[in-house]
Structure 1
Amino acid sequence: MNHNEFENNQVNGNDTNNTESTAEHKPYTYTYGPSRSAANLREAYENQLQLMGTGGSDGGYGSGGKKKGKKSQAKAMVAAFLVGAVVISGFMYASDKTNLFTGNQQPAAATTLASNTAQQSAGVTTASANVDASIADVYKAASPAVVKIENYTEPVQSNGRGFGGRGGGWQGFSQTPQSPSGSSQSDSTDSSNLQLAGTGTGFFFESSGYILTNDHVVEGAAQVKVQVEGYDEPFVAEVVGENADQDLAVLKITGSKAFPTLAIGDSDQTAIGDWVIAIGNPYGFDHTMTVGVLSAKERPITISEDDGTEHQYEHLLQTDASINPGNSGGPLLNAKGEVIGINTAVNAEAQGIGFAIPTSTIQETLKQLLGKSA
């Protein structure tokens, strides 16, 4: 086939080698040959345009005879994506504003939610919403009912149980003065022969003047004096009754008006870990408050005296509230300000190990002691 025949076949679409591809992919092919004039080429081009217009399809070309580019298709896809994103964002905003999925519930603060979740999962509840304020209120209400007790003895008399050293590392909480003969309090006693042997703590449980304390605080006393908050002069107290086995004693003073009192609570209702408050007169520092938790219950201890005798105490409450000599007989309070124990002993070789007589074991003894005053 010569060159002119090849050109004619190309123009007329008769190239047998390209028939299949022309029908499926490129139905119109244009070539420029050196033997054809520009007029012939223009005429052939116009004829092809007419064929395109009458065939019902542009074969991928626009009305101007130009094929659509990939750029136009990409722009269309981007535009469609942006429109979809705007529509979806609008739906999300509308559902959020109308609480479509939350049911009009107000969202909680993240910290509160975390705290509540932790408490619910662990089954833990706080004893007080504001522990500091609660303890301060308890002290303010309870402090006036707590008293300081002074034990005066004859100079030749032994210090007695509770004022001398106790064996086995156990000590009572009453304080033994370092120089009792030089104490200014001994000058206010009725007899110049009496001396201050020790001090402790007690509290009013009846407004008529009844005071509960430890027996070892007043044991062997020739005279007992009670210093009450708000009074300049101490009261001389009557020892109504004593029970050495329970280490309890009841005193009575008489005043011109009712005294503030503390309610005696039920120690059986307390739990290990509950807040407890001790108020007393450690080392002569009046109305000192210490705070801790209930460390254990039902503790038995044995206290050995200097003379070899032993005293067994059972069912005691253990606390890490700081207790020192002078706290003996003072109240151990719960967060409600109720007395749940009477502070009585401490292990001198340890820290944060103090013991109190639970109120659940003193009710019957207390009735007996009060009955002796009739």
Structure 2
Amino acid sequence: MKKIVNAATPAVCAVALTLSVVAFANSNAATAPAPIVTSAPAAPAGQPVDLTYAAEKALPAVVYIKNTQNSKIETVEYSDPFEDFFSDPFGGFFGRGQGNGGRRQRQVQTPKRVAAGSGVIISADGYIVTNNHVVDGADELMVTLNDNKEYSARIIGADATTDLALIKIDAKNLPAIVIANSDNVKVGEWVLAVGNPLGLNNTVTAGIVSAKARSMNDPRDKRTANLVSSMIQTDAAINQGNSGGALVNTRGELIGINAMLASPTGSNIGYGFAIPTSIMNKVVDDLKKYGNVQRGMIGIQGGDVKDYVDAQKEEGKDVDLGTMEGIYIGKVVEDGAAEDAGLKEGDVITHIDGQKVTKFGELTGIIAQKRPGDKITVTYLRNKSKKTATLTLKNEKGNTKVVKDADIDVLGGQFRAVTDSQKEQLNIGYGLQVLKVSGGRLKEAGVPQGFIIQRVNDQSVKSINDLQEIVKTASKSKEPVLYIQGIYPTGKKGYFAVPLEDE
């Protein structure tokens, strides 16, 4: 059975890659940097390819990234099935049980973790692109250049959906890589994968482009279910540690960021995948401008026409959609861009802005370069009849505004993890106490000073970082509200709804 493996060392792997079949994603291609073409000639047809030039150009721009996660004290739950019985053996019969179902908490110290990956210098002033899963959870990031100089790095922004991150080091006159347009890459073209695999720094492997717009997402696989899926597939060897490294053409120009491999063993067997620069350029631009990625959503669920037709045949149904190429619309999202433009379930999308789309990965790649508010022209078949429509892409909230991550400051409060004495007194295992309430969302919702927050939007809150992440996620949802559960210092339980936006 095939494994989906992020090409970083195991300790830092989180999730990576692709995108689910719900329509998705990002940018305006006009904002992406124009590709710069060097003067190195391509090899004549039928002649051997000299890859030394490409290696010389790419190697100085690829860096080694060390992710350090410091030791931490964490509260964990464990089960004691006899606790409630021995504390009150008759409680279950007479309804007097005061236990918590045998669930108890204890504090454990996690070990210090160190993991590694690769990155690519994209500007002389220190901007570096890598994978989100390479920097995820880092307390410290150290970057080592090809000449062995070391720098501390900070995260400018990261995006789990595209598995891309932008980091920065304080340096000048760095050997930035030349960025090519990945849309111009052809299947069969020679490429190099450059990175730091398996602890072997400054490594180059060669292969060809095996496929484009490859869909790797599987709704049943949590590692790939919700991620942008329009990958460059290559047989150049990509292994753990290659994550965030460069996939370059024969001129040494960047065409993709190495991200993952598909393997039954966890090691390379000829299936490596890279995020194309057409998507990377837009993500980098968004992270610089907004701090997060602005995703244009087309508002459909579906898949390849061939997959749909084959599935119908297995059920004994003969289906003729007028084509065997394109994207079959299985569902139109309510109040989405597609519904507004009149698209319906059963329609088949064949072109976007005049560009032919034969499979779902191609559609994903195009939409991933768009932003909310961008307009696209969709050509589609309905009952084999050709039609066109203009769609205005929307964001996750169903409008065309810029989506910003709400910071914890919007709550207008100061917080502190509960003390051991509070845990003992109130018989709780964790929580954040509101130390102060100033002008902000907490005050508007009536959350008082001293209240202890334990759960928000049905997620446990054990630290300020937990609350920060929940606020960020909620701020980008269609319902930007925090549903807070907790306890007063008196032991009384409390519940609050805290809107993050004005109605």
Tell me the TM-score normalised to structure 1 length.
0.52
> What SS is found at the alignment partner of 1:142?
helix
Which structure: larger Rg? 1
Alignment of 1:1-374 (within 5 A): 126=44, 129=47, 131-132=49-50, 135-156=51-72, 195-232=112-149, 234-255=150-171, 257-302=172-217, 310-349=225-264, 351-372=269-290
Offset at residue 302 of structure 1 (A): 2.1
> What SS is found at the alignment partner of 1:341?
strand
Offset at residue 197 of structure 1 (A): 2.9
Aligned to 1:64: none
Mind listing any 5+ residue stretches in structure 2 that lack a counterpart? 1-42, 75-109, 293-503
Cα distance in structure 1, aligned partners of 2:258 and 2:198: 15
Cα distance in structure 2, aligned partners of 1:148 and 1:304: 32
Aligned to 2:33: none
Deviations 1:54-110 (A, max 9, x none): xxxxxxxxxxxxxxxxxxxxxxxxxxxxxxxxxxxxxxxxxxxxxxxxxxxxxxxxx
Aligned to 2:331: none
Contact 2:141 2:152 in 1 (8 A): yes
How many corresponding residue pairs?
A: 212
> What SS is found at the alignment partner of 1:301?
coil
Q: Which has the higher helix share?
A: 1
Cα distance in structure 1, aligned partners of 2:174 and 2:220: 35
Aligned to 2:353: none
Offset at residue 157 of structure 1 (A): 8.4
Counterpart code for 1:145: A
Q: Which has the higher strand share?
A: 2
Mind listing any 5+ residue stretches in structure 1 that lack a counterpart? 1-124, 159-192
Cα distance in structure 2, aligned partners of 1:128 and 1:219: 44
Deviations 1:104-159 (A, max 9, x none): xxxxxxxxxxxxxxxxxxxxx84585523xx111111221111001111023489x
Contact 1:208 1:259 in 2 (8 A): yes
Counterpart code for 2:129: L
Aligned to 2:7: none
Contact 2:53 2:250 in 1 (8 A): no
> What SS is found at the alignment partner of 2:167?
strand
Cα distance in structure 2, aligned partners of 1:338 and 1:156: 41
Aligned CA distance change for structure 1 residues 137 and 305 (closer, same or farther; 3 Å): farther
Aligned CA distance change for structure 1 residues 199 and 272 (closer, same or farther; 3 Å): same
Aligned CA distance change for structure 1 residues 308 and 228 (closer, same or farther; 3 Å): closer
Aligned CA distance change for structure 1 residues 264 and 128 (closer, same or farther; 3 Å): farther
- Tell me the percent identity: 38
Cα distance in structure 1, aligned partners of 2:126 and 2:220: 32
Aligned CA distance change for structure 1 residues 246 and 326 (closer, same or farther; 3 Å): same
